[in-house]
């Protein structure tokens, strides 16, 4: 009976140790967040060994202290800048089911920094008019352009000379390009 009680007591103590050594949800996914992009290989290995919340707090404090450009200052500029970039990524690069800072664009932005210049373009047109079948030329449009050119009295262009030879059937222009 005493042996059975001792085994139950040992099991309860070991189970309690496992329960108390678990990371809380606040810290469990910390390395999977945007900060994880900054982890070195050694830091990743050290994070895997962290068992409790107190160890996690110490690890995170040391993580940001290593990246502080002014260690004696009360304010960590790097962390503040990084948190601002994370917020920007979440607002601008996120989409349904994906946090912006964890997207590919967010990762590049966080690791490389903001771009030197950027252009805003409106959406491009994705639906176009049906293309002409392959091998067919819109001959009417080509002849119309040719007629306008001849009607306007255009006889030569810079770098072009008038040809006495008839052109192929694909063009009505009497001009040929001279070699420069």
Task: Sketch the domain layout of the chain as residue ranges.
Answer: 24-112
Closest to 76 measured CA to CA, from 65, 60, 62, 88: 65
- Mean pLDDT to the nearest integer, 76-85: 95
Distance CA 163, CA 168 (A): 12
Check whether 132 has a pLDDT greater than 90: no
State if pTM tops 0.85. Answer: no
Q: What is the pLDDT of residue 2?
A: 58
Q: What is the pLDDT of residue 56?
A: 95
User: From residue 155, how far is each of 1, 5, 42, 48 by CA, in Å?
Assistant: 117, 111, 76, 80
Closest to 160 measured CA to CA, from 171, 137, 138: 171
Distance CA 112, CA 108 (A): 6
* 11 SS3 class: helix
Q: What is the pLDDT of residue 139?
A: 59
């Amino acid at each position: 009976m005493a042996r059975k009680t001792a085994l139950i007591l040992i099991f309860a103590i070991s189970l309690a140790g496992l329960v108390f050594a678990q990371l809380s949800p606040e810290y469990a996914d910390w390395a999977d967040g945007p900060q994880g992009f900054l982890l070195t290989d050694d830091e990743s290995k050290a994070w895997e060994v962290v068992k409790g919340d107190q160890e996690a707090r110490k690890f995170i404090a040391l993580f940001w202290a290593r990246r502080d450009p002014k260690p004696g200052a009360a304010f960590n500029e790097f962390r503040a800048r990084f948190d601002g970039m994370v917020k920007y990524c979440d607002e601008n690069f996120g989409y349904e089911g994906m946090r912006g800072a964890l997207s590919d664009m967010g990762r590049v932005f966080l690791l490389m920094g903001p771009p030197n210049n950027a252009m805003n373009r409106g959406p491009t047109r994705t639906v176009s008019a049906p293309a002409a079948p392959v091998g067919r030329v819109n001959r009417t449009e080509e002849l119309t352009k040719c007629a306008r050119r001849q009607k306007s009295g255009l006889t030569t262009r810079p770098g072009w000379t008038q040809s006495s030879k008839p052109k192929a059937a694909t063009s009505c222009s009497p001009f040929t390009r001279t070699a420069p």
